[in-house]
Amino acid sequence: DSDSRCTIEHIHLLKWIREVVRENSALVDIHCFDSTLSDYEKGMANSLIDYAENHLERKILIIAGNAHARKIKNITQYGHLTFPMYLEKEFLVYTIFIKYSQGSLIIDGVDIDITQLSSQQEDLSNYFDGITYIPVATPANQIKDLTMALNLLK
């Protein structure tokens, strides 16, 4: 997976979230989800809807890549619904895009300026309810081996 979804820093974020959960179990639940449906976005939305319907008292924070989290106004241009669009039918959904002023990402040993990524350069204001600006992104290092990622989570 060379699209940077599995980085050492992402693993550190998950570990930090796990610690928050341990310290505040009454406040935070963590659920990972995936989908085997051919309509992947609908499958993710269904997983979240199932959880939400059984935990109506909870607010839900979803961490997802921008291709999954964006709300598309012109579905014919994008080609498919994204999972927030499915969720909006039943829930209030607010999406935020994170935009970095500077930082780097190391993929396949190559140091990439994060501001040069297409998602950081295009105007995404029509796809997200808000944009959060981060002055400096901590350098992220890709993990290519799932076993290594799982070992880091221990």
- pLDDT, tens digit, 9 for 90 and up, residues 114-144: 888 888 888 888 888 888 888 887 777 777 6
pTM, entire model: 0.68
Confidence of residue 26 (pLDDT cuts 50, 70, 90): low
- What average pLDDT does range 19-37 have in this prediction? 71
- What average pLDDT does range 40-45 have in this prediction? 85
CB 127 within 8 A of CB 67: no
CA-CA distances (angstroms) from residue 82 to 20, 38, 66, 129, 130?
29, 13, 10, 14, 17
Those residues with Cβ within 8 angstroms of residue 5's Cβ, 6 or more apart along the chain or in another chain: 65
Confidence of residue 21 (pLDDT cuts 50, 70, 90): confident
**Token code pair at residue 2:** 């060379």
pLDDT-above-70 percentage for the chain: 78
Strand order in the sheet with 137-141: 110-113, 103-107, 137-141
Q: According to the model, what pLDDT value does residue 134 have? A: 84
Q: State the Cα–Cα distance between residues 146 and 87, nearest whole angstrom.
A: 30
Confidence of residue 61 (pLDDT cuts 50, 70, 90): confident
Q: According to the model, what pLDDT value does residue 101 have? A: 86
CB 137 within 8 A of CB 102: yes
**Token code pair at residue 21:** 């959960």
